[in-house]
Every structure is written in C-alpha cells, then in structure tokens.
Amino acid sequence: MFIVTSYLTAVILCIITMICWGSWANTQKITSKEWGFPLFYWDYTIGIILLSLIFGFTLGSSGNLGANFIENLAQSSFNSISFALLGGIIFNIANLLLVAAIEIAGMAIAFPIGIGIALVQGVLVNYIAVPDGNPKLLFSGVLLVTIAIVLDALAYQKIGSKKSTSKGILVSICAGVLMGFFYRFVAASISENFEIIESGKLTPYTATFLFSIGILLSNFIFNTLFMYKPLSGKKVTYSDYFKKGSVRLHLIGILGGVIWCTGMILNIIAAGKAGYAISYGLGQGATMIAAFWGVFIWKEFKNAPEGVNKLISLMFFLFISGLTIIILAKL
C-alpha cells in the first residue's frame, strides 16, 4: 500500500486535507435552495463510502509495504473494527449537530464553539494518546488558530443576524465535544507501524472504509431523526429523497462526500509521519479555507460594515501563523 515516507510529504497531504475539509460544504451550499441538508447528507455519505473503496482497492492494495486492503479487512480484530465503526458513528452525530447548531444559532455562535472545542480537544486527546512533536509549539499554534476561528465568527456576526440561543449554544458544545473524539477512535484502530501491520490492526485505508460504514449505519438512526424531527427547519421524508432528487442533485451530494473523504484518507496517511495530533490540527485549519471561499468566491462580506476587512485580514494572518507553528512542532 502507499505509505508516506517524509514529513514534507505528510505536511503537503495535510494541506490538501485542509482544502478538502474546507471546500466540501460548497456542494451543499449549491443545493441548499432545492435540497434539505438531511437529504443531501445521504448522497454525501454514499460519496464517502465510494471513495474509501476506490482508495482501498488502489493505493491501499499496491506495493509491498503494509497490507493488502482485502487481506487486512479479513484479519481485522473485533476491537479494531469496533473502534473504526465507532469513529464513524461519533463523527456522524457531531456533523449533523454542528449543521443544526449553525441553523439555530448562526455561524457566528456555532462555529467558534463547535470547531474551537473540536480543534483544542482533538489535538489534546490525540497528543496524550500518542505524544509526538514539541507540545509548546503545537499548542501555541492551536491557540492562534482558535483565535482566528473566533475572529472569523465575529466577522460573520457583523454581517448576519444575532440569533444566539441557549439551545444553539448547547448543541454547538455537544457537536464540538463529539467532533474532538472521532479521530482518536479511528487512530486507535490503526497499526502504529504502517509498514508492518500488527496482527488484528487496520491500515489507514481499511480504517477509513470501516469508518465510512459507521457513518452509513448510524445514518439510518440519526439522519432519519433529523429528517423527521429536525432541531431546526422543515421536516423531510424518504419519499422526498426519491421524488425531489434529480441526477444533478445526487451527483453534487456524492461529490461533496468524495471531497471530504479525500481529505480524511490523506490526513490519516499523513499521520504516519506527522503524528495524529499534528495531522488532525492541520486538517482542522479547514476553517481558513472555508473562510477563503466565503470572502473571495461567495462574496459574503462584499457589503460588510467598516472594520470587518481588518478582522478578516487579522484572521488569515493568525491562521497562517498558527498552522506554520504547528508544522514546526515536528521539526
């Protein structure tokens, strides 16, 4: 299977992860006026599964290092399979809750609380499990990125409605706490040595596939709840999925899942050289990419009041500074 052999390559893959994780939501934005998020989410999930299989049968089955995708899946232990599936289930709940929180409380409240908690907690949990890199540099970088996320939220607050509610804040906290844990469960299922896979342990490719199965299986419970008992917005049904969904809408949703899963697989592969804490921390820099789309492509701040441009400039500066320091933590 394909394995990263240098830290530089790992950093490049993490940057691609940032781009993927910060860009997939554009596919949902394109369909949002025609297609409710819970309906979009089914296609998004299909995209994740399809790409995990493609990676498994290509990069995950090539070369002499590691283990073949199918062979590794066949020898996987119950514990490893359970950890990977659980990672998918936790991610799924967190993702659905974060979108609901944004709808309830607005981007300015939900994003810094949800993603801020996920970033700090995720890096901390993964570093405690596998200490790798300079902790002072790592957490200094995380602090700068967290401040940048807060500035991003303040910028959105100045151009949007101020609809903060206790319900929205609570949902944001739940989403952030869960999002900060999912990656650790996936990492726990994977062999520490990517070149010689431990008995019962998974390769990054097998783990990502089982992770995607966890998302799919839990979708039948949690996404169904969000469809019929939404925390915000209108109720949708399975009948809507088949009657209202055009080929275009389905393909856009699948594309969203493909984009996100590309980032996930590359991030896990990169962790072999970068370490899980650094790899996850860099990946969550996706907020900067999402902000880039909002500022330069969607022109969300075109008519923003005075002072917002300074906030945005400072935000990008802190993001780039924080991510650079996180990279230096392993050098």
21 in any annotated domain: yes
For 173-185, how does the pLDDT look when each residue is reduced to its tens digit (9 = 90+)? 999 999 999 999 9
Task: Give the pLDDT confidence score for residue 161 in this predicted structure.
Answer: 55
pTM for this entry: 0.94
- Of 199, 158, 211, nearest to 51 by C-alpha is 211
251 in any annotated domain: yes
Positive/negative CA dihedral, 175, 176, 179, 180: negative
What residues make up the domain containing 298?
Answer: 7-328
pLDDT reading at 156 higher than 90: no
Task: Give the pLDDT confidence score for residue 163 in this predicted structure.
Answer: 60
Average pLDDT, rounded, for the chain: 94
223 in any annotated domain: yes
306 in any annotated domain: yes
Please calculate the CA angle 101-252-85 and round it to the nearest 5 degrees. Answer: 60
2 in any annotated domain: no
Task: Give the pLDDT confidence score for residue 232 in this predicted structure.
Answer: 81
1 in any annotated domain: no
For 25-75, how does the pLDDT look when each residue is reduced to its tens digit (9 = 90+)? 999 989 988 899 999 999 999 999 999 999 999 999 999 999 999 999 999
- What SS3 class is residue 112? helix
66 in any annotated domain: yes
179 in any annotated domain: yes
Cβ(266)–Cβ(17) under 8 Å? yes
DSSP 213-255: HHHHHHHHHHHHHHHHS-SSS----HHHHHHH--HHHHHHHHH
Count of the separate structural domains present in the chain: 1
